[in-house]
């Protein structure tokens, strides 16, 4: 009897539970079962194209196929990876990296295994997809940079989304901008992901697509860059290390922005091998560094234009008189030397700019003091960022510009002020800053916020007030730097296709060794000890259109090395625009 009672009780419990499931919970469980058969699968968007100012494509999407895997749908992960590895000839190292990538991703999200597959390689996998649950072959695209060698730092590269990106709403397997324009304009370029609702069987295999919301292509970005000028700059700089910046003097648009050495941005699309990345990091030439904006150097004699402007602004006596250059200036027990060993003789400010007399500017800096030098440099955009949209721009350093900094709260030695006046010592600037200084001189003192976007209205950060005919004096001297036989840029630029105004600079890296008579001690100079070469200026002289700065790291003399590069860029600009605009001849005064 007891056993029968227990059996009856159990039967009643089971019956009650069946009634509850079939009647009270039927609707909810039915919906849950239906939902379990549904999968929401993201459809990744195409990135917008990146174009130059004339519509030339700098970053495009090419058709391909991508292989993904959803871990939670895979029955036998190891066997599945063996199958895929055999089909795609994965190395042991590739297989290990892919397995690690799968372990670090959400199991319900697709993990990108390989991209840029052609159909002949994707088809054998697609034909057996039903036998290997969790594998997906989809038509896709990959990013391609037609001018990778000339635009690596400018355009940048893409990389797979990391954990931070996933928290920002980016899907696993998507590529996001990591540097350059790709990073700066990620929001516009990225596009919006779509979704498709799939019905799947108990093994997670797709049965049919129930609904679909297509992805939206990212917006194209048209840059102010002129790829013709960018290529001309790259060809002229050649295999040397350095940077070039070219600007529109009236709009602040960047027409060319080059840094060398560069790197192949197309290698980043499916994941760069760690060995290659480590090689770039260890390379002493620092190919990942954008020298146009991320590195600051002593501006050398290009700084003399700022010192001259400060002299006029603060009424230094020397700008209206002359001094004698004997080839050196004695300061206590030290001799500060001019680049011209025999000296320039009696000299005034115009010829001092033309022939780049160090002694003249030592004395002018001494009259001004560090405070007047620094405030003028800051007014002309040095020691601050230019406003360009790229990440990582440095400010450079103008001594005395930050009175709140402990190192700046002191009296400056006369020697420090003098060498700062000629762009040595602790003064540092970027090539892009110096190009903006040239543009500001050319456009009448309008300090523009720089931009990489085409057809933008000019944004004037400030109008620099320059008294009287100061700018005219500076401009004429810059013109004679190129046009006069004694000018430091004459040999390189006097025959340029456009009348050019400019200033050369040779930044000393190590102190020159001299004998007791002041003569240079000759000997083999190591590459790392050679001077940096500068040229900055604008063209055409009478009606300025472009400004530029050329920097060659350890290149040597500015006029001999940076000058010819500047001429090649100016000539390329002249040839490209000759049919569109009437331009002054190279011999206009």
Per the document, the length of the chain is: 589
**What b/e readout covers 476-490, taking b as 16+ CB neighbours within 10 angstroms?**
bbbbbbbbbeebbbb
**What is the per-residue pLDDT for 310?**
97
3-state secondary structure of 243: strand
**What is the per-residue pLDDT for 131?**
84
**What is the per-residue pLDDT for 410?**
66
Please report the sign of the dihedral spanned by the C-alpha atoms of residue 163, residue 166, residue 171, residue 176. negative
* Residue 277 backbone dihedrals phi, psi, to 5 degrees: -60, -45
With vertex at residue 452, the alpha carbon angle to CA 156 and CA 189, rounded to the nearest 5 degrees, is 55
**What is the per-residue pLDDT for 120?**
86
Q: Residues 140, 115: contact at Cβ < 8 Å? A: yes
For 163-167, the CB contacts below 8 A with 24+ separation are: 166/106
Q: Residues 339, 347: contact at Cβ < 8 Å? A: no
Q: What global pTM score does this model have?
A: 0.82
Q: How far apart are CA 122 and CA 118, in angstroms?
A: 6
> End-to-end alpha-carbon separation of the chain, Å?
124
Taking alpha carbons only, the member of 463, 465, 440, 464 closest to residue 450 is: 440
Could you list the mean pLDDT of each consecutive 10-residue stretch along the chain, which spans 589 residues? 68 66 58 57 86 96 88 89 91 89 82 85 86 85 91 92 80 85 95 79 65 87 98 97 98 98 81 73 89 97 98 96 95 90 95 97 97 96 96 94 59 92 96 98 97 96 91 97 95 94 88 49 58 96 97 94 97 86 50
Taking alpha carbons only, the member of 542, 533, 546 closest to residue 574 is: 546
Q: What are the chain's domains?
A: 40-125+132-222 (3.90.1310.10), 227-279+288-518+525-577 (3.40.710.10)
3-state secondary structure of 36: helix
Q: How far apart are CA 532 and CA 63, in angstroms?
A: 45
**What is the per-residue pLDDT for 359?**
97
**What is the per-residue pLDDT for 587?**
47
Taking alpha carbons only, the member of 187, 85, 210, 185 closest to residue 135 is: 85
Is 383 exposed, middle or buried, given 0-12, 13-18 or 19+ CB atoms closer than 10 A? buried
Q: Measured between alpha carbons, how far is residue 182 from residues 51, 78, 100 in Å?
A: 12, 36, 27
Tokens standing for 115?
């991209």
Is 270 exposed, middle or buried, given 0-12, 13-18 or 19+ CB atoms closer than 10 A? middle
């Amino acid at each position: 009897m007891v056993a029968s009672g227990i059996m009856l009780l159990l039967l009643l419990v089971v019956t009650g539970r069946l009634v509850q499931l079939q009647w009270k919970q039927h609707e909810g469980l039915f919906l849950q079962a239906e939902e379990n058969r549904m999968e929401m699968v993201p459809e990744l968007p195409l990135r917008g194209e990146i174009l130059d100012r004339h519509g030339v494509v700098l970053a495009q999407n090419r058709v391909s196929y991508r292989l993904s895997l959803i871990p939670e749908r895979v029955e036998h992960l190891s066997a599945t990876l063996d199958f895929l590895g055999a089909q795609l000839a994965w190395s042991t190292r590739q297989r290990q990296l892919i397995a690690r990538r799968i372990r670090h991703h959400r199991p319900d999200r697709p993990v990108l295994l390989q991209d840029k597959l052609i159909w002949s390689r994707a088809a054998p996998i697609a034909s057996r997809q039903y036998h290997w649950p969790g594998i997906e072959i989809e038509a896709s695209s990959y990013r391609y940079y037609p001018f990778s060698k000339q635009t690596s730092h400018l355009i940048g590269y893409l990389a797979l989304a990391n954990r931070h990106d996933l928290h920002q709403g980016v899907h696993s397997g998507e590529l996001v901008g990591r540097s350059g324009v790709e990073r700066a304009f990620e929001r516009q370029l990225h596009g919006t992901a779509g979704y498709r609702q799939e019905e799947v069987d108990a093994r997670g295999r797709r049965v049919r697509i129930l609904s679909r919301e297509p992805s939206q292509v990212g917006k194209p970005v048209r840059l102010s860059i002129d790829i013709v000028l960018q290529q001309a700059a790259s060809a002229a700089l050649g295999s040397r290390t350095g940077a070039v910046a070219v600007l529109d003097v009236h709009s602040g648009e960047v027409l060319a922005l080059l840094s060398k050495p560069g790197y192949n941005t197309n290698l980043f699309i499916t994941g760069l091998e760690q060995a290659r990345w480590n090689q770039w990091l260890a390379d002493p030439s620092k190919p990942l560094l954008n020298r146009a904006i991320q590195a600051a150097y002593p501006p050398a004699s290009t700084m003399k234009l700022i010192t001259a402007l400060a002299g006029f602004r603060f009424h230094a006596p020397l700008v209206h008189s002359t001094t004698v250059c004997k080839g050196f200036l004695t300061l206590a027990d030290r001799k500060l030397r001019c680049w011209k060993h025999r000296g320039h003789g009696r000299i005034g400010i115009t010829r001092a700019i033309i022939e780049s007399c160090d002694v003249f500017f030592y004395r002018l800096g001494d009259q001004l003091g560090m405070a007047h030098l620094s405030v003028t440099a800051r007014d002309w955009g040095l020691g601050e960022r230019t406003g360009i949209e790229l990440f990582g721009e440095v400010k450079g350093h103008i001594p005395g510009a930050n009175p709140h900094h402990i190192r700046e709260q002191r009296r400056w030695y006369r020697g420090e002020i003098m060498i700062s006046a000629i762009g040595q010592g602790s003064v540092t600037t970027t090539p892009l800053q110096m190009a903006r200084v040239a543009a500001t001189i050319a456009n009448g003192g309008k300090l523009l916020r720089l931009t990489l976007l085409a057809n933008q209205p000019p944004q004037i950060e400030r109008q620099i007030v320059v008294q009287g005919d100061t700018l005219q004096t500076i401009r004429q001297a810059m013109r004679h730097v190129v046009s006069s036989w004694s000018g430091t840029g004459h040999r390189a630029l006097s025959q340029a296709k456009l009348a050019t105004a400019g200033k050369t600079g040779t930044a000393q890296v190590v102190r020159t060794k001299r004998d007791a008579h002041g003569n240079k001690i000759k000997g083999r100079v190591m590459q790392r000890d050679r001077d940096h070469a500068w040229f900055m200026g604008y063209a055409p002289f009478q009606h300025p259109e472009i400004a530029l700065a050329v920097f060659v790291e350890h290149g040597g003399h500015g006029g001999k090395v940076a000058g010819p590069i500047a001429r090649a860029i100016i000539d390329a600009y002249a040839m490209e625009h000759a049919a569109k605009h009437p331009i002054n001849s190279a011999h206009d005064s």
